[in-house]
C-alpha cells in the first residue's frame, strides 16, 4: 500500500462498510492486500488490472484458492473490484484507481528519488573520507641507521615489513631470541646454524603464549633427552629442529622429560661425544742419584 495510504477515512466508505458486513475484517484486509498488488503493477504503467492464475492469487494473498474465490466474490458484489475468470486465469480490476494518483503520489515518488540520490552521494563522500584516512595512516619504523615508512597504502604501493616486525627493536627481546638460539645450537651441536627471521617468529609466538626463556631452554634439553628425537626410531633420523621442539603438542612434553630424566645431556644419542684423553700421572723417583748402578760409566735407573 504505497501511494493510497493517505486515505485515512477509507474505513468510512460505504462499499467497505458493506464488505465488512459480508466478510468481516478478513474481507477488509483482503481488499487492501489486493489493492496493493494491483497498485504495485501500476507503478510502471496506468493499467489498473492484473491477471494471475488462481493458485498464484492464493499465494500472493496467503490464503487458499477457495477462500480467495469467496472473498473476491464479496468485493465484486459491493463494487470494490471487477473479477473476470478465463479458464484458470483470473483478472482483477480496481475501478477508479487512477483518480487516487494525485499530487500526493507524485510528491512521494520525487521524495523517494531524492532519498536515493542523497544515499548515493553520502556513500561517495564516505569513500573519499576513508581514502584520505588511509593515506594519512602511516607509521615510521626505525631499523638500525635507516627507516621505512609503514602504512596500509602509500600511493599505489603497498609496503610490507613483516621481517622488521618479527625482529622488533626491543634489545631485551632480541637478546632473548639470541640466548635461546645459542642454547639450541650448543645443546644440539649445530654450531654453523644462523638465527633467521623464521626462528625469531617461532620463538616470539611461543613466548607470547606464556613460555619463558628458561622454559624454552628446558624444552630444548628435554628434546635432547628423548631417544626418539635423537635417532632411536625406525627411520634412524634425528628430529631436533627448533620448529619440532616448540610445537604446541611437544613443548610441554619435552619440558617434562628434562625435569624427570636423570640422563646427562652429553650422553644422549645422536651427538658427537667428546674425545676422552688419557690422564697421565708422573711420580718422581725417590732414589738417590748417587746410589744408582752404572754400566760402562752410565747410570741405570
Per-residue pLDDT tens over the stretch 176-229: 999 999 999 999 999 998 999 999 999 999 999 999 999 999 999 999 999 999
In whole numbers, what is the pLDDT of the chain averaged over residues?
Answer: 74
pLDDT digits (tens, 9 = 90+) for 262-294: 554 445 444 444 445 455 555 555 555 555 555
pLDDT score at 153: 43
Domains with residue ranges and CATH for the chain: 10-100 (1.10.10.10), 104-137+149-159 (no CATH), 170-267 (no CATH)
Residue 58 has pLDDT above 50, yes or no: yes
- Decide: pTM greater than 0.75: no
**Of the ranges 95-109, 208-222, 247-261, which one carries the lowest mean pLDDT score?**
95-109
Q: Give the residue carrying C-alpha cell 634489545.
A: 171
Residue 69 has pLDDT above 80, yes or no: yes
pLDDT score at 140: 45
Report d(CA 171, CA 144) in Å as an integer.
12
Task: Give the strand pairing for 138-143 and 49-53.
Answer: unpaired
pLDDT score at 147: 43
Grid coordinates in use for 54?
Answer: 488462481
Report d(CA 200, CA 174) in Å as an integer.
8
pLDDT score at 28: 87
Helix, strand, or coil (residue 51): strand
Amino acid at each position: 500500500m504505497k501511494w493510497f495510504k493517505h486515505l485515512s477515512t477509507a474505513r468510512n466508505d460505504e462499499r467497505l462498510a458493506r464488505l465488512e458486513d459480508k466478510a468481516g475484517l478478513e474481507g477488509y484486509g483482503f481488499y487492501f492486500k489486493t489493492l496493493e498488488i494491483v497498485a504495485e503493477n501500476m507503478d510502471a504503467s496506468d493499467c489498473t488490472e492484473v491477471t494471475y492464475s488462481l493458485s498464484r492469487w492464493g499465494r500472493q494473498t496467503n490464503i487458499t484458492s477457495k477462500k480467495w474465490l469467496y472473498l473476491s466474490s464479496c468485493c465484486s458484489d459491493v463494487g470494490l473490484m471487477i473479477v473476470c475468470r478465463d479458464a484458470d486465469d483470473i483478472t482483477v480490476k480496481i475501478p477508479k484507481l487512477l483518480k487516487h494518483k494525485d499530487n500526493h503520489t507524485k510528491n512521494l515518488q520525487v521524495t523517494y528519488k531524492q532519498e536515493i540520490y542523497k544515499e548515493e552521494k553520502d556513500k561517495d563522500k564516505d569513500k573519499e573520507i576513508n581514502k584520505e584516512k588511509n593515506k594519512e595512516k602511516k607509521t615510521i619504523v626505525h631499523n638500525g641507521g635507516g627507516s621505512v615508512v609503514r602504512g596500509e597504502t602509500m600511493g599505489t604501493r603497498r609496503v610490507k615489513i613483516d621481517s622488521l616486525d618479527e625482529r622488533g627493536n626491543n634489545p631485551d627481546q632480541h637478546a632473548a631470541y639470541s640466548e635461546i638460539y645459542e642454547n639450541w645450537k650448543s645443546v644440539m651441536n649445530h654450531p654453523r646454524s644462523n638465527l633467521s627471521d623464521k626462528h625469531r617468529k617461532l620463538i616470539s609466538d611461543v613466548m607470547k603464549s606464556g613460555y619463558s626463556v628458561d622454559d624454552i631452554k628446558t624444552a630444548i634439553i628435554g628434546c635432547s633427552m628423548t631417544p626418539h628425537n635423537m635417532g632411536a626410531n625406525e627411520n634412524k633420523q634425528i628430529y631436533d629442529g627448533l620448529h619440532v621442539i616448540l610445537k604446541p603438542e611437544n613443548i610441554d612434553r619435552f619440558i617434562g622429560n628434562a625435569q624427570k630424566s636423570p640422563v646427562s645431556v652429553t650422553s644422549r644419542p645422536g651427538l658427537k661425544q667428546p674425545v676422552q684423553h688419557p690422564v697421565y700421572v708422573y711420580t718422581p723417583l725417590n732414589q738417590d742419584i748417587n746410589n744408582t748402578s752404572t754400566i760402562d760409566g752410565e747410570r741405570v735407573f
